[in-house]
Structure 1
Amino acid sequence: MTYYGGKELAASFRTVRSNTIQAAEDIPEAKYSFKAAPDCRSIGQTLVHVALGPGIQRHIHGNRVADIQKVNFMELFQKMTAEEAKPRSKAEIVAFLKAEGDAFASYLEGLPEAFLGEPVTQMPGAQPASKTRFEMLLSAKEHEMHHRGQLMVLQRMVGLVPHLTRQMQERMAQRAAAAQPAR
């Protein structure tokens, strides 16, 4: 694993988290209670869920779990669900995203390559039967990207253009303007 180690994982996660924080900051607090459907998380609940997501990987790898069957997922999920249910203002959610993101990125930054290469046995019947710690830790970023996709749709539903879309539109407009012949 000489090309992508703990420092690279941390940098990549920081980029993803900073974009999530930007989305959280762009959405007005009055829209944090918006849900796409009754049985879905609200925007605010989704942001708290995203903030908590890396905690599972941090628990597994921070405790050097080598067999996933040894993790009490019911207990972890109960704690996460209780934490998600706590009422928070927009400012508190943004601060929570920042603090949890910084903590996880700092954790990733210090992980040695040998540790990232260690196998972790998955649940019986899972394919593959084991994954490296690297792959499992990378899943925290994948989880966040999944929910960021949802947040981008939610932003559109409440009348906002996501910041990454705005930035891309600005770049395209600049290129189009630069390509115009001089008059």
Structure 2
Amino acid sequence: MKKVIFCSLFLLMSCVPLIAQEQDKAFVRDYVERLDNSRKYLLLVAEQMPEAQYNFKATPESLSFAENLMHIGFAMDWHSQSLLGGREARTWATDTVFKVADKSKIEMIGLIDKTFEQALTLLREFDVSQLEDRLDYFGLDRTKRHIFMLLADHITHHRGQMLVSLRLNGIVPPRYVLFQ
């Protein structure tokens, strides 16, 4: 009887890592779906604002609509490609890819769409065994799982500012899209 209990317990314990790995795969799969929905909604928001209002700032110290859009792209690139993917990080001070500069509305929207696609491609192939890897995040000890969640929060934060800019310009934002 003790042998049966021991063998059963051993079999059960050997399945725990497989169950955890499947849960991690589900987390990443759900995250990718959510991020793709976030992409679609952000693109609708970006399309809604007339190009002439892309420099609109809700307050003098705020980022403009365009700066919020490009900042989302920069942060998405940094969180996904550098923190999760291991590529050398860009620096905001010297970066030219995500600066508004003389980019048109169409160019900015295209860049954001491309950056989302690159992030989604990397995340679809993400090795879930790395989710608990730890890294320095502005002096805080965080896991790569945290980075997934921080990226989603960051996009939502800046998109929210863009929605306020639409409202302040008398534009009704696109209807909220669930699960993003």
C-alpha offsets along residues 42-96 of structure 1, whole Å, 9 cap, x if unaligned? 11111111122112212122228xxxxxx87xx6222347732422111111111
* Contact 1:6/1:110, CA 8 A, preserved across alignment: no
Q: Secondary structure at the match of 1:111?
A: coil
Q: Percent identity?
A: 22
Determine whether 1:83 maps to 2:105: no
Cα distance change, pair 61–31 in 1 and its aligned pair in 2 (3 A): same
Of 66, 71, 81, 1:49 maps to 71
Partners of 2:70 and 2:104 lie apart in 1 by 11
C-alpha separation between the residues in 1 aligned to 2:94 and 2:31? Answer: 26
Q: Does 1:131 pair with 2:142?
A: yes
Cα distance change of structure 1 residues 117 and 77 upon mapping to structure 2, 3 Å threshold:
same
Give the structure with higher Rg (CA). 2
Deviation at 1:108, TM superposition (A): 0.8
1:5/1:112 contact within 8 Å kept: no
Q: Note if 1:106 corresponds to 2:128.
A: no
- Residue identity opposite 1:13 in structure 2: L
> Of residues 124, 128, 133 in structure 2, which corresponds to 1:118?
133
The one-character-per-residue Cα deviations of 1:107-146 (angstroms, maximum 9, x if unpaired) are: 111112211222225555x4xxx32201112211110000
Q: 1:17 aligns with which of 6, 24, 39?
A: 39
The number of equivalent residue pairs is 155
TM value normalised by structure 1 = 0.74
Mark the CA change 1:118 to 1:53 in structure 2 (over 3 Å): closer, same or farther: same
Aligned counterpart, 2:49: 27
Report which stretch shifted further, 37-46 or 78-87.
78-87
* Partners of 1:119 and 1:133 within 8 A in 2: yes
> What CA distance in whole angstroms lies between the structure 1 residues aligned with 2:163 and 2:138?
33
Q: Is the 8 A contact 1:5 1:116 kept in 2?
A: no
Q: Is 1:155 the counterpart of 2:166 in the alignment?
A: yes
Root-mean-square deviation over aligned CA pairs:
2.5
Check whether the contact 1:5–1:113 (CA below 8 A) recurs between aligned residues.
no
